[in-house]
Copies of this chain bind each other. A is one copy, B any other.
Amino acid sequence: MDRIDIPKKAIYRLSIYHRCLQRLVENEQQTVSSTALAKAAGVKPAQLRKDLAYFGQFGTRGLGYPVETLATMIRDVLGREKLQPVVLIGAGNLGSALLRYQGFQKEGFEVVAAFDVDPEGVRARGINVPVFSEKELETRIAQEQVRLAILCVPVNIAQSLANRLVGAGVQGILNFSPVMLDVPAEVVVNNVDLALELEHLSFFVR
């Protein structure tokens, strides 16, 4: 597979480009130049062109890129042609906010189930997603063939739940616990550490 020499960061940017393209589609724009799209995405034009070129030739010289076609190709590359099922573990503060968050649905993900130690308590909070006891985690994930999980549990139990997720067949974990998960090489973990992002700002702000 020639994915090997594609910069990992280019994949990230692809998502950003896709967002910007969606907005252009809404505005019924037909084509867009690398300069314009790059500006919207916050990158340099040359980088945008190079990123796209990893996947083929989509632009027309002198004209730019066809908005629709480009959006479609990015969806293909990112494996997002169809709705992806996701589960969420730990519906505490952050977890239940994410369950109410519309951004995932909008981008083509469906949170099909949430798990918590206290499913009753979570259901009471007006969450639309079905909430189950964490005991049912393995069976339900296997049943629905879910590959992606969002992990929002306290630090001390994060690793053990990650192990169970992997055992159940999950291949990608979006981890909100501030701890580095130890998982097999074929499983991808993406860490989102909110406090850390704030800390990072501190360094640059005087």
Query: Are the CB atoms of B196 and A148 closer together than 8 Å?
Result: no
Number of copies: 2
Shortest A112–chain B CB gap in Å is 14
A192 located at the interface, meaning its Cβ lies under 8 Å from any Cβ of chain B in the complex: yes
CA separation between A166 and B98, bound complex, in Å?
A: 28
Query: Are the CB atoms of A101 and B107 closer together than 8 Å?
Result: no
Say whether, besides A12-B200, A79-B205, A204-B172, A19 and B194 are in contact (CB < 8 Å). no
Contact partners of A19 in chain B: CB under 8 A: 178, 196
Contact partners of A103 in chain B: CB under 8 A: 178, 194-195
**In the complex, how many residues of chain A place their beta carbon closer than 8 angstroms to a beta carbon of chain B?**
54
Q: Could you list some 29 contacts between A and B, CB below 8 A? A: A11-B200, A12-B196, A15-B199, A16-B180, A16-B193, A18-B199, A40-B180, A77-B203, A78-B202, A79-B202, A79-B203, A79-B205, A79-B206, A94-B98, A96-B97, A97-B97, A101-B194, A103-B194, A104-B194, A106-B195, A147-B206, A171-B204, A172-B204, A172-B205, A174-B198, A174-B201, A188-B205, A190-B198, A192-B197
